[in-house]
Structure 1
């Protein structure tokens, strides 16, 4: 299994992108200082006024942007650093050791490699990215090597799980749902957590390849941290924006299941990973979803408030499998396929 990392390192002067990676794109985007910055410590401060401000700012971020930068989140810097170190150790392992985790099918709980994508024009290309993906909750899966990965991942997945549940409880409050409604309806005690480490080496032609093409995420909330090299872009009101989140902050995006559950109030925005020709970018992603067996549809109180449900319900694991195997039908994403059209 020869990944992009090996390709970029073995070729002393790689002048052009091999044809299998060919994806013509325009990686430039606007810079914005409008992406909300949410201070988590306001929620936990014990001051009602600060808590109220947090709830208000969180609700606005989820409904207007679908992305926000979370600061003072309480996850120690050394535990975030440990994740990058363990991921780097994994990607530096010999190819033959990683070969055992090459995916047999899309839903394998441990998988690594690089990835082919077919676009709406039936053009198949390989992403300029090596990845490691693991299902870490409600069942924990982890490669045996490197030794540092298991402990770092157990710590980080537990921390992010608690953070996700606290944020989801607050988002439920912004939606004016009864306390515990989201927790019980989506069985968040058994929330599904997917961990991904992504390695994007320097690319000689950043406009002729892509790390990850435009997409939305399947869960409720996705957390992303990076090694200080920018590359994530989000689409907002038709324009692409660079997201330059500060070191040790967490970039959070509201995902498909939260848009469905909120009956469209929270937005699941398109985003993509673009490349550069100078530095390796590493991102650590934790996708937090409902329980695998939860059937997710619009929350009944919200659908009643709106006069109708705007999305069809679906079991969460079925949604994931659909997205992994056939994300586009007639040019529509899974999320778009779940939307109930207005009756004329």
Structure 2
């Protein structure tokens, strides 16, 4: 039984990939219009995108444009504050809080704010900025929409696997599934060819829903090349993570992706990571395995899986990116 953390589309070695991969013209990451009333079409569209790409964009998703603009405005306002004020929500040992990552080596270049969104029992508001003053209200309203959209997408993906609509949602813990926001702030960098905003990685959780600003930089790895994700106004980028790959017994791809900086323009992105509780067991769903199709991945406690993957990152000599929970 293997327990690889990358899908068959990924290179065997991230180090080799960093050294040799090139960026080529994108054939087009799928864009799915959720205003279509044909549920069977939506099931087919998101399932195919998850099987072939592991990433797609959704439009007409029901999140008010005004709310998305408020989310982006408050996030940008936070990073424009004086350093002393940003440090009031600094990390203090766990993953939550504000931090700068201007590192050597492959030169990751970002500041970020990381904090939990849901369920209420795990929230620690000391990591939520009090300035701008509307930050909490906007973020809590946005969280509700993220939960609704996640339930829809997981429902369609469940049906695409031939399972009941609630299968994947229940498989990551239902209402106990954890939602975490990370705001990535990538200042302009004149050495953008050498500096990576976020190193190549797959997300450990089930799914990530990401809203970028208009400055292009997010890239996905497919068919032995890096592909740009075109900016689509008001779209939400959906990224399949390790957990859904494992639960689907390899049918869904956990897309390898990275973020590049821009020479002249500020890039900001707002990914929301959705993952099981740390103490949940995660592995191939029994309904998807058989004697003819045995489990491809070991069932593990999610926190043990996180530890395992971080050790793998250490072996690759790459910095830790993506969703990391407290040990």
TM-score, normalised by the number of residues in structure 2: 0.84
Match of residue 40, structure 1, among 27, 34, 40:
34
Name the SS of the counterpart of 1:133 in structure 2.
Answer: strand
Name the SS of the counterpart of 1:172 in structure 2.
Answer: helix
Contact 2:97 2:114 in 1 (8 A): yes
Contact 1:192 1:292 in 2 (8 A): no
Shift in Å at residue 306 of structure 1? 4.8
Shift in Å at residue 100 of structure 1? 3.2
Q: How many residues align?
A: 296
- Taking the aligned partners of 2:144 and 2:291, their CA distance within structure 1 comes to 35
- CA RMSD across the alignment: 2.3
Match of residue 88, structure 1, among 76, 79, 82:
76
Name the SS of the counterpart of 1:75 in structure 2.
Answer: coil
Written as runs of structure 1 = structure 2, the 5 A alignment for 1:1-344 is 29-42=23-36, 45=37, 50-105=38-93, 107-108=94-95, 110-115=96-101, 124=105, 126-138=107-119, 139-141=122-124, 142-304=128-290, 306-320=292-306, 323=309, 326-328=311-313, 330-331=315-316
| Structure whose alpha-carbon radius of gyration is higher | 1
What 5-or-longer segments of structure 1 have no aligned partner? Answer: 1-23, 118-122, 334-344
- Taking the aligned partners of 1:246 and 1:330, their CA distance within structure 2 comes to 36
1:54-90 Cα distance to aligned partner (Å, 9 max, x none): 1111111000010111011000111111111111111
What 5-or-longer segments of structure 2 have no aligned partner? Answer: 1-17, 319-327
CA spacing shift, 1:136–1:322, aligned 2, 3 Å: farther
TM-score, normalised by the number of residues in structure 1: 0.80
- Taking the aligned partners of 2:21 and 2:223, their CA distance within structure 1 comes to 17
Shift in Å at residue 140 of structure 1? 3.1
Contact 1:127 1:210 in 2 (8 A): yes
1:255-297 Cα distance to aligned partner (Å, 9 max, x none): 1100010010000011110112111111111111223432111
Name the SS of the counterpart of 1:310 in structure 2.
Answer: coil
- Taking the aligned partners of 2:292 and 2:180, their CA distance within structure 1 comes to 32
Shift in Å at residue 180 of structure 1? 2.7
